[in-house]
Amino acid sequence: MAENLAPKGLDGVAVDVTSIATTDNSGNLLYRGYRAIDLADRKSFEEVAHLILFGKLPSADESAKFREFLKKNSALGGRIPEIMKIEKQTNLMDSLRSYVSLEPYRNSEAGLLLAEIASKFPQIISSSARINEGSAPLHSIDGSYAENLYYLLTEKKNPRYARFLEKLLILYMEHEFNASTFALRVAASTLTDPVSAIVAAISTLKGPLHGGANSEVLTYLLSFKSEEEALKFVEEKLRRKEKIMGFGHRVYKEKDPRAQFVKIELKKLIGNTDVYRYATAIEEYIWEKKKLPANLDFYAALYLKTLGIDEKFYLPIFACSRVFGWGAHYLEQQADNKIIRPLSVYTGPTGLTLE
C-alpha cells in the first residue's frame, strides 16, 4: 500500500479547486485573474484586499467604505491593552496568535468578521512590541492601511515609504495552497469559526520553513564587504549542500516575477549601491550554478530594511497582508465544504499481546 502514498509534503498534488489565485504559464501570480505585479503597481492595498476577500475590485465608493471599515475596527477592544502589559510576549507571532483569539469582535457575518480580524493585526503587532520595550502604544492615524501600518511600526509618517511598503504588502497577500493557507482550510473544513481558523494559519506561518526567511537573508547580505566575499560565501554554502535562504520555491522554477518587481522597486530606493550589487551578483551566481531563482523573500529583506522597518516586524508584516488571503480561503472552503481528512499508511508493529 505504501506505493500508493502521495509524495511527501503533497508535492505536486492538487487537492482542491480555487478561484482566488494561481500562477499562469509565464509564472505570473494571478489574483482573481489579474497579475499581482500589475495590482501592486497600480492599485491600493484596500482595493486588492477587497478583490481577494470579496471576489471583485471595488468601485470608488466601495473602496472608501472598505477603507473606513478597516480603520474603524482597527483599535483593540476589551482588556487586551492591559493584558499586554501584564503578560509580555517577546515573540510577536506569539502575541498575534494570542490576542487575535482574545479580541471581542463585533461582527458576526463571516466576511465582515474576517475583515475585522484582519483590521486588528497592525495594532496588535505595534502595541505588543512597544509595550515590551517600555513605550506607550501608538494610536492609528487617518490614512490608508499601508500608511497606518508604516506609522505604527516606525512612529513616522512617510507617504512615499508607505507606498513602497504597500506594493510589497500586495505581493504578499495571497499564494494558493501554501502551508498556512492549507492549515486554515483544514480548520475551516471542520466548520470551526473564523477566529480559530485564522489562529491555525498564524501558528503555521510562525514555523521557520514557512515564514522567517527575510531575517536570515538580511543577516548575510549586510555582512559582506565586497562582491568577492559575497560570492565566496555562496560558493561555500553550495559546496556544503546547505540551503541558501531566499532562493528556490516549489511553484517558481525559473523567475519569480514578484521578486523581480521588488528588485526594481528596491533600486528606486537605494540605487546601484554596494549591497544592491552584492544581492544581484548572488542572484545571478546561484541561477548560473544551480538554476534556483531568487524568491520574494530575497529582495524583500533589504527592501524592508531600507524603509526603516525593524527586523522583528518582518514576519508579522507578512501576516498583516496574508490574513486577507486566509479570509478568502475560509469563505471558499465553507462555500463548498467537505472535511479534509486524508488517509495514512501504518508502519508500526502489530500483533503485540499483553502479558
**Residues 246, 295: Cα–Cα separation, whole Å:** 6
Task: Tell me which residue has cell 538580511.
Answer: 218
In this prediction, residue 249 carries a pLDDT of: 62
Q: How many residues appear in the chain?
A: 355
**Catalytic: which of 50, 175, 297, 329?**
297
Phi, psi of 207 (to 5 degrees): -60, 135
In this prediction, residue 281 carries a pLDDT of: 95
**Catalytic: which of 38, 94, 193, 249?**
249
In this prediction, residue 112 carries a pLDDT of: 97
Domains of the chain: 17-208+311-335 (1.10.580.10), 213-306 (1.10.230.10)
In this prediction, residue 304 carries a pLDDT of: 96
Q: pLDDT digits over 61-80, tens only?
A: 999 999 999 999 999 998 99
Q: Note the pTM of the prediction, 2 decimals.
A: 0.94
In this prediction, residue 105 carries a pLDDT of: 97
In Å, what is the CA distance from 166 to each residue of 62, 82, 326? 19, 31, 18
Other Cβ atoms closer than 10 A to 32: 18
State the angle between helix axes of 110-132 and 145-154 in degrees (0 to 180), rounded to the nearest 10.
20
| DSSP state at residue 210 | T
Q: pLDDT digits over 233-259, tens only?
A: 999 999 998 888 888 666 666 788 999
The one-letter code for the residue type at 117 is I
In this prediction, residue 170 carries a pLDDT of: 98
- Look over the chain and give the mean of its residue pLDDT values, rounded to a whole number: 93
Q: Annotated catalytic, 297?
A: yes
Q: How would you class 8 by CB atoms within 10 Å of its CB: exposed for 0-12, middle for 13-18, buried for 19 or more? A: exposed
**Residues 78, 81: Cα–Cα separation, whole Å:** 8
Q: Among positive and negative, which fits the CA dihedral 161, 164, 169, 172? A: negative
Q: pLDDT digits over 309-333, tens only?
A: 999 999 999 999 999 999 999 999 9
**Residues 187, 198: Cα–Cα separation, whole Å:** 9
In Å, what is the CA distance from 140 to each residue of 5, 104, 296, 312? 50, 19, 28, 20
Q: Which residues pair with 34 in a beta bridge?
A: 31
Phi, psi of 23 (to 5 degrees): -115, 140
Phi, psi of 21 (to 5 degrees): -155, 155
Q: Which residues pair with 29 in a beta bridge?
A: 23
Q: Annotated catalytic, 175?
A: no
Residues of the chain with pLDDT under 70: 1-3, 212-215, 248-253
* 119 contacts 225 by C-beta, under 8 angstroms: no
